[in-house]
Amino acid sequence: MRLDPFYMPFALWWLGAAYYMLGSYADAVTSLQAAVSRAPNLALGHHWLAATYAQLGRLDEARAETAEGLRIQPWFTISQMPFTKACKRPEDGARLRDGLCKAGYPE
């Protein structure tokens, strides 16, 4: 990312997701905000940003991101996010599921 100013926005999502899994929610917000600003129709970015805001207790912002994520993917539910089940450590998937629940996503 340092060497290529035209890197794909998905790289920012991966970085934000990594920070989220580390519990570094403030760092995750920065990366995920950049991801959705560069790729506003990247629903995954909105889903993770909503969960991150929820973990920080910023529920109004979390719900706004939830609304945007559901505008892009109206069929989305928490149970459809494979990451909540595919983590090596079950507590990592549970942390994401918790954030999505707090943000107001449907089960």
Maximal C-alpha separation, the chain: 40
Per-residue pLDDT at 22 exceeds 90:
yes
Length of the chain: 107
Domain spans of the chain, in order of start: 9-103
In the chain, the percentage of residues whose pLDDT exceeds 90 is 72
Cα 102–chain centre separation: 13
For the segment(s) 9-103, the CATH number from 2.60.40.2700, 1.25.40.10, 1.10.1740.10, 3.30.70.20 is: 1.25.40.10
At residue 20's C-alpha, the angle toward residues 18 and 22, to 5°, is 70
- Burial grade of 42 (CB within 10 A; 0-12, 13-18, 19 or more): buried
Say what the pTM is: 0.91
pLDDT confidence of residue 88: 78
